[in-house]
Amino acid sequence: MTKVIIQIPCYNEEATLGLTLSELPRQLPGVDQVEWLIINDGSSDRTVEVARSNGVDHIVNFEHNRGLAKGFMAGLEACLKAGADIIVNTDADNQYCAADIPKLIEPILRGEAEIVIGARPIHQIKHFSPVKKVLQNLGSWVVRLASKTDIPDAPSGFRAISRTAAMQLNVFNEYTYTLETIIQAGQRGMAMTWVPIRTNGYLRPSRLVKSIPSYIKRSILTILLIFMTYRPLQFFLTLGSLPFSVGTLLGIRWLILFFLEGTEKARVPSLVLAAILILIGFQLWIFGLVAELLSVNRKILEDIQLRLRRSEVEQAERGVRR
């Protein structure tokens, strides 16, 4: 029996949650059971009451607001314990068209992917400013490079995740899960694809993108941190190559001038700067080697975590059967 659980992170979504839930399906092709779950991220309004009145099956409650990333991960954990074979994540502001959920889960049902991202028609969304459209495309391009995938809309929160993939995902930052999970899945070699989706009308401003500069800064930090975590040697080798190359060029210049002009113009500051830059480059390379060795422990811990999650899910399923 295949079970799909549709999860919705919520923070003060009283005004829009009812509409979002009214459009969610209770039946899907190729699926035996569909359930709904919300993550109440410390809401101070009637979000929970609206969810219950609309027949939500599971509610995860946070006493205080912990952010979108924490809410997303708590939802995955709850969905796994509730026996989900596929988890669909969507937003409470009804941004994504729920009628596209069958299209979203189809590659997982066919066994072609473990994660499917819904790609919005960015250039057709009227409430996106030209600057935001450019930044969305630029950010997605950077994520494609870092994750080695072809996902065209990395910030999209409309996605389907298989049980196996959900057990392996982790979110380290407290801002958002969208970029990090794609890079992480790509670096870990999970099968990932995308499908074109539709969007609904504009109901409220984004609570994640409070300002374009803040969003850019946070996104860049997320990409760098995840790249450092999963490709530390490559990251530090690349980073160290810049000062090492500049230092080497300065050193060659000093040697050329030394042999051409002799010792009368020693140019000591130039030689000292070259030595410092070369030393910095070597140190960054050493950091990369150490980080690469430490990543072995991370992989072991990830394997242990996966086994623990599988054990918890199996125990929860046995409890449900009883």
- What pLDDT score was predicted for residue 121? 80
Quote the pLDDT of residue 303.
81
Does residue 111 contact residue 101 with C-beta atoms inside 8 Å?
no
CB-CB neighbours of 39 under 10 Å: 27
pLDDT reported for residue 140: 79
202 with 260, same domain? no
User: What tens digit of pLDDT does each residue of 165-191 get?
Assistant: 999 988 877 777 888 889 888 888 899
pLDDT given at position 212:
66
Question: Per-residue pLDDT tens for 8-34?
Answer: 999 999 999 999 999 999 999 999 999
Q: Distance between CA atoms of 37 and 59, rounded to whole angstroms?
A: 6
User: For residue 244, what are the contacts with CB-CB under 8 A and spacing of at least 6?
Assistant: 277, 278, 280, 281, 282, 285
Residues 119 and 242 in one domain: no
pLDDT at 97: 93
Instruction: Give the CATH number of the domain where residue 68 resides.
Output: 3.90.550.10
How high is the pLDDT of residue 35?
96
Please return the burial class of 269, using the count of CB atoms within 10 Å of its CB with bins 0-12, 13-18 and 19+.
exposed
Q: Are strands 33-41 and 115-119 parallel, antiparallel or unpaired?
A: unpaired
Shared domain check, 245 and 224 = no
Residue 230: its pLDDT value, please?
Answer: 78
263 shares a domain with 284: yes
| Residue with token string 């401003």 | 205
Same domain? 267 vs 180: no
Sign for the pseudo-dihedral over CA of 254, 256, 261, 263: positive
- Residues 55 and 123 occupy one common structural domain: yes
pLDDT beneath 50, residues of the chain: none
Same domain, 260 and 211: no
Q: Tell me which residue range forms the domain holding 107.
A: 3-230
